[in-house]
Amino acid sequence: MSDFRIGLFYGSTTCYTEIAAEKMRDIIGADILELNNIKDIPLKNAEQYDFLIFGLSTWDFGEIQEDWESHWDEIADLNLSNKTIALFGMGDQQGYGEWFQDALGMLHDAIAEIDANRTINRIGFWPNQGYEFVASKALTEDESQFVGLALDEDSQYEFSDERIQNWCMQVLEEIAQSIEA
């Protein structure tokens, strides 16, 4: 798996999403995972990678992080055909439990809208056990999983490092399976 690169595109207002992205880079390796802050790098650059990770945070009452919000319309124009994509999000399940990880769900839905021919391989779904929230747009249809890694630096920061580590290993395994398929 050494001849592939993963492009990780994130937006970060308070630096927590950026710190999570840097931890992912350190776990996976800087030779494989390249960080792209969408505040400085065009989202269109995601088309250069076969494997992508998108990271964003949910703000207040289910709002999208400002860097992502300023590029939101560009998502529909991305050519993500035959790409493998994993998502992660930051949220606050105690302070905003009715909107926990909503931006993650909205990003997942925006990607699904451009995937009419079902050519995007979405990976990195994450169990929703161990969280305490009221509602989330980031749950799968059967509500058993989040559509990506759910991190909470406000209420469950003590679990973040282990969740990031486990999720990175899961994503690498799922990428290996997609390469073999």
Orientation angle between helical segments 102-113 and 66-75, nearest 10 degrees: 20
Domain that holds residue 45: 6-180
Q: Can you give the pLDDT at residue 1?
A: 43
Structure tokens at 21: 């992205």
CA–CA distance, 104 with 43 (Å, rounded to integer): 16
How many domains in the chain?
Answer: 1
Place of tokens 């390469």: 179
Which stretches of the chain score pLDDT less than 50?
Answer: 1
Phi, psi of 6 (to 5 degrees): -110, 130
Give me the CATH number covering residue 93. 3.40.50.360
Is 148 inside a domain boundary?
yes
Is 1 inside a domain boundary?
no
Q: Can you give the pLDDT at residue 24?
A: 98
Query: What b/e readout covers 133-155, taking b as 16+ CB neighbours within 10 angstroms?
Result: beebbbbeeeeebbbbbbbbbeb
Q: What is the DSSP letter of 139?
A: B
Q: Can you give the pLDDT at residue 34?
A: 98
**Residue 53, SS3?**
strand
Is 81 inside a domain boundary?
yes
User: How many degrees, rounded to 5, is the angle at CA 123 between CA 120 and CA 125?
Assistant: 135
Q: Can you give the pLDDT at residue 180?
A: 86
Q: Can you give the pLDDT at residue 118?
A: 82
CA–CA distance, 44 with 61 (Å, rounded to integer): 28
Tell me the one-letter amino acid at 52. Answer: L
Is 95 inside a domain boundary?
yes
Q: Can you give the pLDDT at residue 85?
A: 97
